[in-house]
């Protein structure tokens, strides 16, 4: 049984989605309304995460983000509450792991949840990557990646210009 299946069994209760305290989580404030946040996450991924991506705006659609050959992650949209919640399930991955680790598919089966709470002057945003836990080989690389790309998302929503991944061609 892989790390995620063991972790999921500990977090499951009556088929409810429960956030684990050990999983990666980041909270930040954006000076824009919730609709702009959701649009950036669903339709404008190429502006802040990676230029090699598609859009996934409806339940059942799959977002694929690529980071040069052969690295990618694919997430299926499982739930959307307009301007409040977006829930992805990772269905495919081949990731670069710093130090040459062998578990380049650790994200498969994890969940990425975006929670948006609009308030006066902007929106509180929570990214919770359920299952991305410190015992994963990729945890340091992946949590650092999230920090960088969430900073890019914040920059994009604040200034209109993010810092998405762009493959360097030689």
Q: Answer whether residue 89 is part of any domain.
A: yes
pLDDT digits (tens, 9 = 90+) for 50-92: 999 999 999 999 999 999 889 999 999 999 999 999 999 999 9
Q: Answer yes or no: is pLDDT of 142 > 70.
A: yes
**Is 140 part of any domain?**
yes
Is 80 or 5 the better-scoring residue by pLDDT? 80
Distance CA 129, CA 107 (A): 9
Is residue 43 in some structural domain?
yes
* pLDDT tens per residue, range 6-31: 443 333 333 334 456 699 999 999 99
Give the pLDDT confidence score for residue 74 in this predicted structure.
97
pTM reported for the whole predicted model: 0.85
DSSP states of 61-81 as a string?
A: -EEEEE-STT-EEEEEEEEEE
9 in a structural domain: no
Residue 15 maps to a domain? no
For residue 169, name the pLDDT band (cuts at 50, 70, 90).
Answer: low
pLDDT band for position 102 (50/70/90)?
confident
Domain-located, residue 150: yes
Largest CA-CA distance found in the chain, in angstroms, rounded = 52
Asked if residue 60 is part of any domain, the answer here is: yes
> Does residue 14 lie in a domain region?
no
Report the distance separating Cα 56 and Cα 83, nearest Å: 15
| CATH code of the domain containing 151 | 3.30.530.20
The domain tally of the chain equals: 1
pLDDT for the residue 2: 40
**Which residue range is the domain that position 101 belongs to?**
22-159
Sequence length of the chain is: 170
Average pLDDT of the residues of the chain = 87
Look at residue 3 and tell me whether its pLDDT is greater than 80: no
């Amino acid at each position: 049984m892989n790390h995620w299946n063991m972790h999921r069994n500990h977090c499951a209760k009556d088929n409810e989605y429960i956030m684990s305290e050990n999983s990666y989580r980041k909270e930040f404030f954006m000076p824009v309304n919730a609709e702009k946040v959701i649009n950036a996450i669903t339709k404008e991924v190429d502006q802040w995460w990676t230029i090699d991506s598609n859009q996934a705006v409806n339940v059942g659609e799959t977002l694929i983000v690529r980071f040069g050959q052969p690295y990618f992650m694919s997430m299926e949209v499982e739930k959307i509450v307009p301007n409040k919640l977006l829930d992805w399930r990772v269905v495919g991955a081949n990731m670069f792991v710093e130090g040459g680790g062998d578990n380049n598919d650790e994200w498969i089966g994890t969940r990425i949840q975006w929670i948006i709470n609009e308030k006066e002057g902007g929106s509180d945003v929570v990214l919770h990557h359920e299952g991305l836990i410190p015992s994963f080989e990729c945890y340091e690389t992946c949590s650092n990646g999230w920090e960088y790309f969430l900073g890019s998302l914040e920059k994009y929503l604040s200034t209109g210009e993010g810092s998405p991944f762009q493959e360097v061609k030689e």
